[in-house]
Amino acid sequence: MTTVTLPTVPPPAPSLDGAGRRLPLPGRYTVAPGRSLTELTAWCGPMPVLRRRVTLGEASLTVPEDAENPSFRYEFDDRRLCAVLTSEQVDEVHGRLQLTGELDLDGTAFPVLMRLRVVERADDRLLVVGYARLPYRLLRRATGFRLPWHRPATRLRLLVAAEFA
């Protein structure tokens, strides 16, 4: 039996923009209806006690020409969560995007750190999956957001998957 070794071509490296971030070309991108998934999970210790899908009203990504400070904006329009998440700073940490921003609930801003994994990137679209962990007690005290009384929680996880095109 004879073995044949074929030459292999390494896959192309993911293209990064000038700032080293995994972003599409400069412009404004939005999420089309049906091209996103958002979920709110309440945790009490190691156990999830509540998991609900949340409607994503609108989401946008703005990449400026210099790609220095892109901005993300998520608007959650649901009876359980009516809020706006806006990014103030976007960094790349260990190959992932890290958003530092604010979650605006009824006019009260709450600081949020959201980590996004870039699943797929092209020049005109970006597919990301990410989450933010929120301490429930601090969120409740600062904004008045409450879960049902029979659902004890210590933290919340906001999961977002969106395709910006």
pLDDT tens digits for 39-54? 999 999 999 999 999 9
Architecture (CATH level 2) of domain 27-164 = Beta Barrel (2.40)
| Whether pLDDT at 19 is above 70 | no
Q: How large is the greatest C-alpha to C-alpha distance in the chain, in angstroms?
A: 74
- Predicted confidence at residue 13, as pLDDT, reads 47
Q: Report which of 56, 79, 27 is spatially closest to residue 130, judged by C-alpha positions.
A: 56
Average pLDDT in the chain: 85
* Structure confidence at residue 4 (pLDDT): 53
Q: Which residues contact 92 (CB under 8 A, 6 or more apart)?
A: 20, 21, 22, 98
Reported residue count of the chain is 165
pTM: 0.80
For the chain, what are the domain ranges?
Answer: 27-164
Which pLDDT band, with edges at 50, 70 and 90, does 94 fall under? confident
Q: Which strand (E) or helix (H) includes residue 139?
A: helix 136-143
